[in-house]
Amino acid sequence: MYRDHNLGELNITNVGQTVQLAGWIQKIRNLGAMKFFDLRDEFGITQIVIQEESLMQLANELVTETVISVTGKVVERVSKNDRIATGEIEVVAEKIEILGKCKNVLPFGINTEASKNVREDLRLEYRYLDLRNDDLHKTILLRSKIMKSLRTYMDELGFTEIQTPILANSSPEGARDYLVPSRLHPGEFYALPQAPQQFKQLLMVSGFNRYYQIAPCFRDEDPRADRAPGEFYQLDFEMSFATQEDVFGVLETIIPKVFEEHTDWKVDHGPFLRIPYEEAMEKYGIDKPDLRNPLMIQDFTTVFAESEFKAFQGKTVKGIVIPNGAEQGRKFFDSMTEFAVEEAGAKGLAWTKVEEDGSLTGGIAKFITDSMKNEMGLKAKDAVVLVADEKRAVQKMAGLIRIELGKRLDLIEKNVYKFCFIVDFPMYELNDDGKIDFNHNPFSMPQGGMEALTTKDPLDILAYQYDLVGNGYEMASGAVRNHDPEIMVKAFEIAGYEEDDIKQRFGALYHAFQYGTPPHAGAAPGLDRMVMLIAHSDNIREVIAFPKNKKARDLLMRAPSKVTEEQLSDVHIKVVTEEN
């Protein structure tokens, strides 16, 4: 009724045909006796020529982004355009029908240079217009293709797609829950799932061999550039009779395939590097290291043990040796010192560099002897930057400094995806109140099982937990699950939960485990972050069709919003506003 071809498929072989096209007017060029429209749809652009007097009055009333249907004859273009697929032809209009009028004034231009600099809150408010921009539109289409690829590869590996509930129960996944009040059960609440954790484990108890779904997850967290506020999607999967290495095998199969299918960058293949958590913190200062950055953190605590440099006395000292770093002037090191203090939380940044003759100059050179220089492995033309503090604090400081050095010195390897697994996470950590709490996932199997739980200091217990990291981003999290109810009770007891708490909060798992449970393991690669990496974006909102802003607000749909007293009454809720 509206079109018999899309706007990206006509070519020189169609010359002489009468066609019907439909789309948005992207650009209008008026040459007096003739008018040209660039007509756009999802598939491409076709140039429309209006030269009949009977159509000219209507054409003069049209504005960009109006939706029209055009019937006309395909002719060869005199001035061809090799930048578009249809650039050899144009369509001479014989009939034009307006399908959707557009206001004369748009909030911002579509597919113009200026549209790239529109402030984000305006783009989000008019997201349906923003999604017409080619780059964003193509990214959403890319997301769809990646989801299709993931399903194809998971099906090939023998996984079964199963949906799990959205209205679930509250679970300690490390973030705040979104609570949903129950109308039928006053004072009781559902929780939107932070992950399908319990359900996928119950599927293993139910005898399903391999499960997956592209699952929505909901967490009431503060937004970040690489994390969508409120909701996100992950490729959630679980395997019966599986070990950690079995899960790694799945990830090492699907991740390279998906990335290679949708990018022309070089892609790491398995087996990916396995890095224990403690080693990652020591060498990279972060548990999601970017392996494209060649710089490494080294421990120089013993080197400075007898040093007269008071700022380092009695502290853990971390340093980063920069090959050819002596080329940088004092201004560079002053700038890095400013970063270390203002962004990394350090009290300062010590540095020195080695001249071609081996002498040390600049910074704390006078406090470093030849012996200390040799211990640090410093060579001619090298520089070193150093920070000191308590162990955990200085690891993180050095990690941030390493990342910044890699950026400023342009050391990051380009056009490549590098992956690794971070393994051997601590089972427990101290929370802000100084009490033992789960470090990662509470449903993980402790390494050493019951014996470790009963004989080791909780802070020394490692878990079968792991992360997949790609180019400095956490791409997936997973674990071998704790499927033994006795070990489960003991593990939660150490974190301050009584057995009755487990029965009440995780009763389904607790009771299910009494009826024969296979060992099982799984992981959950984040879909949004995967698309972000493949699309070469550094903003996760750019790979989601209708994202929330930095304050977790949906500017398009005006959510969250107030509701009526009647709606609140239905779910037995009263809003109390505190003064001041």
- Three-state SS sequence of 105-160: CCCCCCCCCHHHHCCHHHHHHCHHHHCCCHHHHHHHHHHHHHHHHHHHHHHHCCCE
| Segment 29-56 mean pLDDT | 94
pLDDT beyond 90 at 342: yes
Q: Could you give the number of structural domains in the chain?
A: 2
Residue 510 has φ and ψ, to the nearest 5°, of -55, -50
Residues 437 and 457: their CA atoms lie apart, in Å, by 13
Residue 423 tokens read as 């393994």
Under the banding of pLDDT at 50, 70 and 90, the label for residue 505 is confident
Residue 475 tokens read as 């791409």
CATH code, domain carrying 38: 2.40.50.140
Domain boundary among 412, 430, 449: 412
Q: Is residue 198 part of a domain?
A: no
CATH code, domain carrying 330: 3.30.1360.30
| Segment 244-260 mean pLDDT | 98
- What would the pLDDT profile of 407-434 be if each residue is shown by its tens digit? 999 999 999 999 999 999 999 999 888 8
Domain boundary among 75, 100, 125: 100
pLDDT above 90 coverage of the chain, percent: 89
Under the banding of pLDDT at 50, 70 and 90, the label for residue 440 is confident
Domain boundary among 60, 76, 100: 100
Burial of 362 from C-beta contacts in 10 A (0-12 / 13-18 / 19+): middle
pLDDT beyond 70 at 288: yes
- What would the pLDDT profile of 96-146 be if each residue is shown by its tens digit? 999 999 998 999 999 998 888 999 999 999 999 999 999 999 999 999 999
User: What letter represents residue 423's amino acid?
Assistant: V
Burial of 1 from C-beta contacts in 10 A (0-12 / 13-18 / 19+): exposed
> What does the mean pLDDT of the chain come to?
94
- What would the pLDDT profile of 464-486 be if each residue is shown by its tens digit? 999 999 999 999 999 999 999 99
Nearest to 103 by CA among 147, 65, 134, 76: 65
Under the banding of pLDDT at 50, 70 and 90, the label for residue 297 is very high
Q: How many residues does the chain have?
A: 580
| Segment 300-326 mean pLDDT | 94
pLDDT beyond 60 at 187: yes
| Segment 332-345 mean pLDDT | 97
Q: Is residue 344 part of a domain?
A: yes
pLDDT beyond 80 at 579: no
Under the banding of pLDDT at 50, 70 and 90, the label for residue 384 is very high
Under the banding of pLDDT at 50, 70 and 90, the label for residue 279 is very high
Q: Is residue 107 part of a domain?
A: no
Q: Is residue 240 part of a domain?
A: no
Per DSSP bridges, beta strands 44-50 and 35-41 are antiparallel
Q: How many CA atoms lie within 13 A of 47 on its CB side?
A: 24
| 293: CB partners within 8 A, 6+ apart | 402, 403, 406, 411, 412, 413, 472
pLDDT above 70 coverage of the chain, percent: 99
Under the banding of pLDDT at 50, 70 and 90, the label for residue 186 is very high
| Segment 242-263 mean pLDDT | 98
User: Looking at residue 227, what is its pLDDT?
Assistant: 76
Q: Is residue 18 part of a domain?
A: yes
Q: Is residue 92 part of a domain?
A: yes
User: Looking at residue 295, what is its pLDDT?
Assistant: 98
Q: Is residue 30 part of a domain?
A: yes
pLDDT beyond 60 at 173: no
User: Looking at residue 31, what is its pLDDT?
Assistant: 87
Under the banding of pLDDT at 50, 70 and 90, the label for residue 504 is confident
Q: Which residues sit opposite 36 in a β-bridge?
A: 29, 49
Q: Is residue 28 part of a domain?
A: yes
User: Looking at residue 200, what is its pLDDT?
Assistant: 96
User: Looking at residue 174, what is its pLDDT?
Assistant: 63
| Segment 46-56 mean pLDDT | 95
- What would the pLDDT profile of 521-578 be if each residue is shown by its tens digit? 999 999 999 999 999 998 999 999 999 998 899 999 999 999 999 999 999 999 988 7
Domain that holds residue 315: 293-412
